[in-house]
Amino acid sequence: MLFQRIAALFAAVTVLLLAGQAQAIPAFARRYETSCQTCHVAYPKLTPFGEAFRRNAYRFPGGGDATAEKEEPLALGNDAMKDRFPAAVWPGQIARQLPLSMLIDGKLTYGPSPEGHVDGAAMAGMTEDAHGGGHAESALALGGLGGQIGLRAGGTLGDIGGYFGSVNIGGHEPIAVERAFAVLTPAGPTALHMRVGRFEPELHGVSVHRGIFNHQLRLTTNTVQLNGFSPEMSSTGLELSGVALGRAAWALGVVETVPAGTSVRKNFYGRLEYKLGGMRLDGIDASAGAAAWSERSLQLGFSAWSGRSGLLAANGMPIHDDDFLRIGVDLHGTFDDLMLDVVGVRQSHSQPTATAGTKMTMDMLFAELTYMVNAVVVPTIRFEGTSLDYGEGKPDQRYLTSLQGTWILRPNVLLRADVGVGADPGSHAEFRAVSAGFSAAF
């Protein structure tokens, strides 16, 4: 009991000191008057129901909003306008209260500058060159102890779709629009989604925005040489997606190249996935169990991305174009309290360096295993490996293994501690970093 009081005091003091980035929307909890655990294992990692909620354009599956929504929406007009359409505008609705959430996150880290193991500043949009950089001396990093606040907004647009917005204040940039998009659902809540704006492409079934670790994924933020492409944190464009027969899902998108200003042509990507067992992807006929995270299921996915970037020299002058193709396969399994994610990717480049005609291939492997000891204690281990092949003998390989423990102090308050061990090309495994962090959402 004493330990819990000390921890609660630590959390309360830390809220006043720490600012960073977390990923959850307490506005949804207010809208439905339910716990964050309805949709989250430990925010932002989603339960099967939370995933169905996301795929329903931020509505309860199967038309459940009619009974689940506790906050009565504000009508914009009345039903009589429907009879006068198009002489009168079709009525709509908005939330009575501003659907805004504030997210606070802080972290103390000790170790050398660890690639793939970064603070809130990097989460705001920095990416790192795969197989670049050297080592720094171990030091205590205080940069995560303030200077950034995350604001999130999300909700429905009545029966025609939903919206989501994410802004970070402070950190890497004074103000950064991380994501801002609308989702239109012209063929029902799940059959067809038209997502327009700045969003994270639907690609591998894992996401920095929905992952239990509080740092970026090398899988989706690593770049290759002078080509700055990576599919996270977000891209600007249009994506069509949907769920078929409750268990199959698809996505097709066209977006600008990241980073901005290097686009030679639009980038195209697609994804197919299928879920065996467990809750359907659309959440229809879902039944509440004793543990929201628990089910027995296997989900398989395949993705492809085709792009072209214009490479720039250090002085900003254009060099030449680099065509690249990214192919990925992924597996996601849940067996009661055990959750496994595995993703394999091959990314091929035609000429990502200043030397024309120099081809390169980057292979990436991501694996993460999470075990729910109980509803409060959640240990997770993650492996991230990359191999960069120059076509001149043995590829450059590096990896990072991270172990994290998450303690759910309250539904909207988390304590985290993690340690990372990794290796660079030609070196042995060595200590990367150890950190302790705190996250709160309001």
Confidence of residue 22 (pLDDT cuts 50, 70, 90): very low
- Residue 262: the pLDDT is 57
* Residue recorded with tokens 């394999």: 344
Instruction: Establish if 5 belongs to a structural domain.
Output: no
151-161 confidence digits (pLDDT tens) = 888 888 878 88
C-alpha closest to that of 56 among 274, 292, 296, 241 = 241
**pLDDT tier at 26, thresholds 50, 70, 90:** confident
Q: What pLDDT score does 174 carry?
A: 76
- Kindly state whether residue 151 falls inside one of the protein's structural domains: no
> Could you give the 3-state DSSP secondary structure of residue 2?
helix
Provide the whole-model pTM: 0.84
Question: Residue 331 is part of which domain span?
Answer: 104-143+181-441
296 near 335, Cβ under 8 Å?
Answer: yes
- Residue 119 placed within a domain: yes
pLDDT of residue 19: 33
Quick count: other Cβ atoms within 10 Å of Cβ 394? 10
pLDDT (mean) for 133-140: 61
More confident residue, 80 or 372: 372
Cα–Cα dist 39/387, whole Å: 35
Q: What pLDDT, on a 0 to 100 scale, did the predictor assign at position 112?
A: 79
409: left (phi over 0), alpha (psi -120 to 50) or beta: alpha
Q: In the prediction, which pLDDT does 362 show?
A: 95
How far, in Å, CA of 104 to CA of 332, rounded? 29
Q: Which residues pair with 45 in a beta bridge?
A: 42
Contacts of 331 (CB under 8 A, 6+ apart): 298, 299, 300, 301, 340, 341, 342, 343
| Residue linked to tokens 């004074």 | 174
Q: For the CA atoms of 295, 297, 302, 305, what is the dihedral angle to 10 degrees? A: 0
Q: If you average pLDDT over residues 241-251, what whole number do you get?
A: 96
36 in a structural domain: no
Query: Is 95 within the bounds of a domain?
Result: no
The pLDDT tens digits for 318-340 are 888 899 999 999 999 999 999 99
Q: Is residue 70 domain-resident?
A: no
The per-residue pLDDT for range 34-43, each reduced to its tens digit, is 777 778 888 7
The residue type found at 370 is: T
State residue 395's pLDDT score: 86
Read off the pLDDT of residues 338-379 as tens digits, 9 standing for 90 and up.
999 999 999 999 999 888 888 999 999 999 999 999 999 999
pLDDT for the residue 147: 58
User: Could you tell me what percent of the chain has a pLDDT over 70?
Assistant: 82
What does the block give as tokens for 395?
């590829």
Question: Does 135 have pLDDT greater than 80?
Answer: no
- Across all residues in the chain, what is the average pLDDT? 81
Coil/strand/helix, residue 304: strand
Q: What is the DSSP string of 318-366?
A: EEEEEEEEEEEEEEEEEETTEEEEEEEEEEEES--SSSTT--EEEEEEE
Q: Is the peptide bond before 259 cis (omega within 30 degrees of 0)?
A: yes
pLDDT higher than 90, residue 63:
no
pLDDT digits (tens, 9 = 90+) for 270-306: 999 999 999 999 988 766 566 888 999 999 999 999 9
Cβ(52)–Cβ(279) below 8 Å: yes
- Cα(first)–Cα(last) distance of the chain, in Å? 25
Is 38 within a domain?
A: no
Instruction: Report the percentage of the chain scoring pLDDT > 90.
Output: 36
Total domains in the fold of the chain: 1
Residue 403 sits in a domain of what CATH number?
A: 2.40.160.10
- DSSP strands (E only) in 52-124: 74-76, 92-94, 100-111
> Does residue 323 lie in a domain region?
yes
pLDDT at residue 123, as a whole number? 32
